[in-house]
Chains A and B, each alone.
Chain A
Amino acid sequence: MDPLYQSLAKIVGEGHVSTQTEELYIYSFDLGTTEPYRPDCVVAPRTMEEVQEIVRLANRDEIPIVPLGGGLSLAGLAVPFRGGILLDLKRMDTIIEVNEKARYALVECGVSQGQLTSYLERHHPTLMHSEPGAPPQATVAGNLAIHGQGDLAQPYGFNSDMVNGLEVVLPTGQVCQFGSCSISAGWFTQHPLPDLGLFLGWAGTTGIITKVSIRLYPRKKILGAGMFVVEDEELVPEIIYEITHTEMAQDVVSFSQAIPPFSSGLHHITINLSADSEEELEFKQKMIWDDALGEYIRRGDGGLLGFARHLQRPQVSKTSDWRKGGGFEYVGAIMPVERYPECYRRGREISERHDIPYTVLGRVIGMSHAMMFSWTYAFNRADPETIRQAREALHESDDLALELGGAIWKPGLYGQKLVMERMDPNTLDLMKKVKQLLDPNGIMNPGNWEVA
């Protein structure tokens, strides 16, 4: 019997560890275009203590270890490029505490976005968290490890800006807590202690987040979305500026896509609104449709497609079926909003060059402080040529994002290389030192964010 298997089975129990072909096969894949690499072992711990023991074992024997949440980054960020232990964290799925008065939720790392949303709807209907557009099995902690954003990004920013505290198992097996939880039982704030933000955005290369406290926000009784449509992409940045000036919106997203063909070339700006009363809703609608957008409507530059109550969760998985092939991947980049027109035009060109129906989207982060702009490319998993096309388009989009002055969000290996080539050398050197300090044996998610 494999000694690694035996050691891990002692920690988590035989039912939660596998070295069998079937598990190694499944966990070798990312859902995007990244080539698969097989782990040596898959293990699904249930507790922080089990994670700690596994990490100690890996560190002692210098075995690579790759943490996996929902596995939906699509950028190959949890692919075991150097084999080793694939750590599926989804069994750690307890919602530990929701503090209504201090508006936060303390959750284990495997809690999914869907699970938290549903829990809040049922037990704390006046609260919500910023749910990303990913499928519901995306985990709250995984989203933080990649600096994700959600449907409250416009008023409150990145999800990683909403962290009140973390518990992290370091690559040496040491467990650390960050925020108020490090000095008391409360998980209500990350500040004002010295900033040790070494885990958000590091894609699991510096440690394994095992618990997280995230901020919750008021959920109002009435939720709905309006859609404003314009043909001229040049108008999108100023329209977004006008909308965000009102401070009335809950989420602002502009998208354009080739499918369905009748709306290709149009820019659909969805504006989520929430209110506790009809009066509040009416006031907000007036502020946006009349005051912010009235002039565009009067000039005939854009039109309101209507307002629908009850928000539908986005079903991005449908994009995977555009080429009837079960696959898509996107490059997301954090861009200035003013770059929207160029992002759209150049992205559309890339899609058309590779014979892929174009789809682009910009989600506003903060008061027009930035947007997450994505270029999405569907492919057919059964057709290697379409995978190659998508991969090329993705690389071109990575190049484009940087050319236009953006920062690639959760880049894959290609994008990471581009980013590090451009990064300030002193910053890069510090990254390298931080990584060496925290992970002296280089076991954590190797291949990712490796500074030469």
Chain B
Amino acid sequence: MTLTEYRYSDVVHRCFRCGYCKFPVNWIDVNNCPAYARYRMESYSTGGRLWLIRAWLNDEINWTEHFAEIVYACVSCKNCVEKCPLRFNIDIVNMIVAAKSEMVERGLVPSTVKEFLENVQRQGNPYGSSRARRGEWSQGTGVEQYQGQEFLYYVGCVGSYDTRARQTAKTLASLLHKAGLSFGVLGKEENCDGNEVKNLGELTLFEMLAEDNITQFKALGVNKIVTLSPHSYNAMKNDYPDYGGDFYVYHYTQLVQQLIGDGKLDISGGFNARVVYHDPCFLGRWNEEYDSPRRILKAIPGIELVEMERNKAGALCCGGGGGNFYADFLSGSENSPARRRVREARATGANILAVACPNCMTMLEDAVKAEDLEDKLAVRDLSEIVAEACGTE
């Protein structure tokens, strides 16, 4: 593909590189683009990346492994979209994904991205673990296979395979049971939702996953879906309708908030802690859901909810989006966004960092260890906090 064939050829040169995209919605810190925060070179800023993409498509520079890493260091957090004052801002992440897509077409992706995509293609998950093991997390929980219940509980790849995130998946299942919700899971029949695949630029594979999932959901009579991960929520809510998948999709925080409000979850047991909440990008900036998680936390007796200075639309991403929880272009430094984020969380005086995303959970928990904060700050999923308040943990 040449520049003229690039879908955003009439837009990509319009970035002035003014640098607004590096800041959060207020101006607290110039480090709100995760890749720029990690490397602090203009090449890793959103503007630098767009200028490099244009230079590549224009044959001003050649593809290199380093160039690919710069492009893939974008984790699709959408801070740039939020902050850019220009009219094309809505397309910034799309422009980067389109460049990734071109690299996929040409077979020029970094090795970890290649692994990620091949694993999804072969096993339906980025880890390359067997499909047959996808449902193992639910063993001993009494969770039923989906067979027409009101809700499909879609767990996603991280919740199904990552050891820590599996605990969260279990906890949420027990919580939904306690609330008397009618739900079932797909177990080993569940497949990758494709959100990260899309953001890594493998659009053909994404389409295949979306179509297969939609076909499966329809065949099973699925009408309502509750997801553990905001990434799954985003794909199913915003992308699946383009492929005929019109389902009622909820992130679990939205449902749990409703269940608490309806009196179906008794949280009177409380949770005594100073808690700070980290907004996941695919729930926050991508879907503007900032309130449900906070309402839950505010409702639980004993919680003192505090905020980081960068929150809601201005939150710093954990660095795990766009497949980076696996591809890992932003780690290895105290400047890694996850490490910056846990330091920021700790600075609030909180002893609990609440998350609502299994990707954030794994990224931030690793960062807590790297920062040697294990005795001061614990990362807990919101479902775990609610479960404890309900006495189910």
Contacts and interface: CB of A to CB of B under 8 A. Distances in A.
A31 B20 CA distance: 14
A395 interface: no
Contact of A320 (B22, B27, B28, B86): B86
B85 interface: yes
A15 B86 contact: no
Interface string B44-77: 0000100110010000111010110010000000
B15 A326 contact: yes
Give the size category of A's interface with B: 35 or more
A16 B18 contact: no
A273 B29 CA distance: 28
Contacts of A381: 13-14
B247 interface: no
Contacts of A122: 28, 309
A115 B86 contact: no
B42 interface: yes
B367 to A, nearest CB: 18
Contacts of A320: 14, 16, 18, 86
Contacts of A70: 19
Contacts of A50: none
Contact of A135 (B18, B26, B88): B18
A25 B10 CA distance: 21
A88 B48 CA distance: 14
A25 B61 contact: yes
B2 interface: no
B14 A22 contact: no
B20 A136 contact: yes
B41 interface: yes
Given A16-B40, A135-B18, A22 B27 contact: no
Nearest to B41: A23
Contacts of B55: 25
A29 B51 contact: yes
A325 B30 contact: no
A117 B27 contact: yes
A42 B44 CA distance: 13
B85 A317 contact: yes
A26 B86 CA distance: 21
A67 interface: no
Nearest to A42: B41
Q: Is the interface of B mostly helix, strand, loop or mixed?
A: loop
B39 interface: yes
Interface string A23-49: 101110101000000000010100000
B30 A88 contact: no
Interface in A35-80: 42, 44, 70-72
A285 B22 CA distance: 37
B23 A382 contact: no
A23 B61 CA distance: 11
B48 to A, nearest CB: 5
B86 A137 contact: no
Interface string A312-326: 000111101100111
A382 B16 CA distance: 12
Interface in B336-389: none
Contacts of A119: 28
A90 interface: yes
B39 A15 contact: yes
B86 A93 contact: no
Contact of A25 (B23, B52, B86, B88): B52
Q: Which of A23, A44, A72 has the most CB of B within 10 A?
A: A23
B67 A327 contact: no
B294 interface: no
B238 interface: no
A21 interface: yes
Interface residues of B, number: 38
Contact of A22 (B18, B43, B85, B309): B43
A143 interface: no
B14 A325 contact: yes
B87 A88 contact: no
Contacts of B29: 115
B114 interface: no
Contacts of A317: 16, 18, 20, 85-86
A22 B20 contact: no
Contacts of B22: 137
Interface in A132-150: 135-137
A22 B19 contact: no
Interface string A282-323: 000000000000000000000000000000000111101100
Nearest to A382: B13
B274 interface: no
B64 A21 contact: yes
B30 A114 contact: yes
Contacts of A42: 41
A26 B42 contact: yes
A90 B40 contact: yes
Nearest to B335: A15
B333 interface: yes
A94 interface: no
Nearest to B45: A26
Q: Which of A25, A27, A70 has the most CB of B within 10 A?
A: A25
A137 B19 CA distance: 6
A119 B20 CA distance: 17
A20 B86 contact: no
Contacts of A27: 42
A186 to B, nearest CB: 28
Contacts of A20: 64, 66
Contacts of B188: none
B295 interface: no
A380 interface: yes
A29 B50 CA distance: 14
Contacts of A18: 41, 43
Contacts of B10: 324
A325 to B, nearest CB: 6
A103 interface: no
A91 interface: yes
A72 B41 contact: no
Contact of B60 (A23, A25, A91, A316): A25
A70 B190 CA distance: 48
Q: Which of B17, B18, B70 has the most CB of A within 10 A?
A: B18
Nearest to A21: B61
A118 interface: yes
Contact of A44 (B40, B64, B66): B40
Contacts of A117: 27
A337 B303 CA distance: 60
Contacts of B30: 90, 93, 112, 114-115, 137
Interface in A312-358: 315-318, 320-321, 324-328
Interface in A89-109: 90-91, 93
A119 B309 CA distance: 11
Name the 8 nearest CB pairs between A and B, nearest first.
Answer: A137-B19, A114-B27, A320-B16, A118-B27, A317-B18, A135-B18, A382-B13, A326-B14
23 contacts: A15-B333, A16-B40, A20-B64, A21-B66, A22-B43, A23-B41, A23-B43, A25-B43, A25-B55, A26-B42, A29-B51, A42-B41, A71-B17, A71-B42, A88-B40, A112-B27, A117-B27, A136-B23, A137-B18, A137-B19, A317-B18, A317-B20, A321-B14
Interface of B: 10, 13-20, 22-23, 26-30, 39-43, 48, 51-52, 55, 60-62, 64, 66-67, 70, 85-88, 309, 333
Interface of A: 15-16, 18, 20-23, 25-27, 29, 31, 42, 44, 70-72, 88, 90-91, 93, 112, 114-115, 117-119, 122, 135-137, 315-318, 320-321, 324-328, 380-382
